[in-house]
Structure 1
């Protein structure tokens, strides 16, 4: 009479090999999931940065498009620190004007940011002069009465401007200090220096052409 064979189990070595394989598979799977999570985070941050940049540049273009030249006022002025614009209101049925300013200064977190400031609406030349001077005080961080009308836009390391006049690009100069032409140039070139380590980094150039300008296509 033959004895029934006992079922054979796993040896200790086989169990250790199986555990090691499962641990390796778990590690590979975790790294894959971690990589996917980081990629999704980076894509989301980049998408948010692109949306912020597009919104900011849309506002920049809207301000330049709405800039007007009034008698005994300046339409545009750049002193190397702040750009000031005299622009009409969005509602063409109401004859009101604003002063808008753009500058670069540290934010609440100490990081340099691009800021936009807009005055209250006005209708007289005296109010324009007050708003024009207040924009300079705001840019120098000394005009506390101008607070509340500024908006932090995006991190920025630096920015430069150039004007298109007489069929050529040249440096943007201060009309007040140099007695330069105070009329609106045919074009404004904006160069942004986006800081490293952000979702968007490097130099970005944006050209604006005055809608009524008659310049060569080149």
Structure 2
């Protein structure tokens, strides 16, 4: 992913936020042929750093060709919104503001026990807010292990990390405020999120002047 210097981020907390809130992301590989699968990711942290985990169907092409040590690319798209040139106080081009993370890494296939724990954590994350959570513990181990037969679990250990935070950093204060105001008027959740991020950036910039 090409990221102009002005939009590059080294913020690990931002990376964690994007992955946590946008865990349904792309698993991309090029073994035998280019392939991509939308799958559910979790991030694990340790003293040595972090790694990603996900699973796909065993019927998936990627499950048939991926093996230990292969390289994959994981693509996470965070909040994003169209930025209209009509919002500026001068002639310019329209663009798109967004936050994204791409992680290239080497894979290690999960053992059955790792896959079971992965499914337990994943289910807990998304079931916990439900009125009547259906956790792995409620399903019974025998049932879960039977369902696991159709799943292909992998861990991904990062070799490259790219974080993009494109929030109109190339605009002056007046036009930044105009963009923020226009984004809020869209009443679109992602646009409002981008507006909030831009406002935060603007306040930090003012403090550092």
Q: TM-score, with normalisation over the residues of structure 2?
A: 0.24
Structure with bigger helix share is 2
- The structure number with the bigger radius of gyration is 1
Q: Which has the higher contact order (CA 8 A, sep 6+)?
A: 2
Structure with bigger strand share is 2
